[in-house]
Amino acid sequence: MEFDLINCYFAPLGLSQSSEQAALDGTDIGIGDDGAVLSVPAGKQLVVVTDTLVSGVHFPENTCAYDVAWKALAVNLSDLAAMAATPFAYSLGLSLPTECATNQDWMADFALGFADLVASTGLSIALIGGDTTRSKVLTLTVSAKGWVDYGQAILRSGAQEGDYIVVSGVLGEGALGLQVALHQIPMGLSAQQKQAALDYLNRPQPQLLLGELLSGVAHSAIDISDGLLQDLGHILKSSNKKQRLLGETKVLGAHIELDRLPLSAGMQALFAENENWAWPLSGGDDYQLCFTISAEALAPLLAVAQQNTIPLSVIGQINDRGKIEASLRGQPFALDAMLAGFQHF
Ligand code: ADP
Ligand code: MG
């Protein structure tokens, strides 16, 4: 049964050659042996990321198989994008309830979610292995692998005083989508806006092209999975740790202008009734990139992003005041209540 699943649904997502053919040809080995065997291109470093998704925790239990698979891989590719790595492979630890494993439609839909996301990136990203077990709760652990030119990974720790803070796409839409999915639907959203929020939640679009454009350009980057404030906080914490190692005494902080946060049409409609800043500041599941960049590098990047129709918003600046502060319509805005973000424990 387990091997039927692997042969039928997972092997087709793998490298084009079987492990036996690869053995004959002396090429890379994917699914079918005890481990995958991969060649490391000269001058590259391997970037490995891992994310686990648990039904009922990371996605609503009624999420369809296609979206579950899409999201599990997309959140991993989002991590690679934040590091400016180009994905080439992923592995899949799958704990599957019997009713999913025995449902051919469910399994086919699940495999299609991976295949369609990979196709949408325009890259070759092969499933190279994994593990399949039975479980009461659907749980997926995907680990994606990418290459980056030696020394060129963008880290959280590189922010510098005076850097501009930039985000891609819109913020808070994942949190809005979750409300829609849980039928706690905010008043005032059109059917189209609800669907847009749901799609945004269920099928995140990893910002791989942007990640590539940021290589050698951005000082620091992170993907926004737990809310802007928490993730920007990670950039500051990590950058300050590095500054201390360098013997610097000043402590980096950030100022953001709330008026500049990018909001979807649905979010703007809600804001017309009630400006709930917790959504774009602390909502999870956005999978946009937040990065910091020098003043000189900003304008050329914005130009090339525009050519590639990647929406970017400059939302603030790194300073030496040691914490995240915000303003709204030119007035200071207290963030204390929102600095939490999502934490599992
Ligand atoms: P082992 O017992 O040696 O750990 P398995 O029997 O678990 O191997 O798996 C057989 C092959 O199928 C291995 O190459 C493994 O990587 C692959 N595999 C198992 N589960 C998955 C999965 N969910 N996705 C992709 N490949 C898988
Ligand atoms: Mg084995």
Please give the Cα distance from 200 to 220 (Å, whole number).
Answer: 25
Q: What residue's CA is closest to ligand 1, atom 11?
A: 32
Answer yes or no: is 41 within a domain. Answer: yes
- Res. 188 pLDDT band, cuts 50 70 90: confident
The reply to whether 139 and 275 lie within a common domain is no
The reply to whether 198 and 248 lie within a common domain is yes
> What confidence tens digit (pLDDT) does each residue in 206-228 have?
999 999 999 999 999 999 999 99
> What confidence tens digit (pLDDT) does each residue in 110-153 have?
999 999 999 999 999 999 999 999 999 999 999 999 999 999 99
Among candidates 9, 148, 36, which has minimal Cα distance to 82? 148
Q: What residue's CA is closest to ligand 1, atom 2?
A: 34
Q: What residue's CA is closest to ligand 1, atom 8?
A: 34
The whole domain housing 259 covers 156-339
Q: What is the pLDDT of residue 3?
A: 81
The reply to whether 237 and 331 lie within a common domain is yes
pTM: 0.95
Answer yes or no: is 344 within a domain. Answer: no
The secondary structure of 78-137, three-state, reads HHHHHCCCEEEEEEEEEEECHHHHCCHHHHHHHHHHHHHHHHHHCCCCEEEEEEEEECCC
Please give the Cα distance from 89 to 47 (Å, whole number).
Answer: 11
The minimum-distance atom of ligand 1 relative to the CA of 94 is: 23
Q: Domain boundary at 120, 149, 178, which? A: 149
Question: Hey, how many other C-beta atoms are within 10 angstroms of the C-beta on 134?
Answer: 13
The minimum-distance atom of ligand 1 relative to the CA of 32 is: 14
Instruction: Give the domain CATH number at 196.
Output: 3.90.650.10
Q: Domain boundary at 149, 177, 202, which? A: 149
Instruction: Give the domain CATH number at 48.
Output: 3.30.1330.10
Cα 30 to ligand 2 centre (Å): 13
What's the number of domains the chain is made of? 2
Cα 91 to ligand 2 centre (Å): 15
The reply to whether 57 and 198 lie within a common domain is no
Q: Domain boundary at 108, 129, 149, which? A: 149
Out of 21-25, 104-108, 238-242, which region has the weakest mean confidence (pLDDT)? 21-25
The reply to whether 308 and 162 lie within a common domain is yes
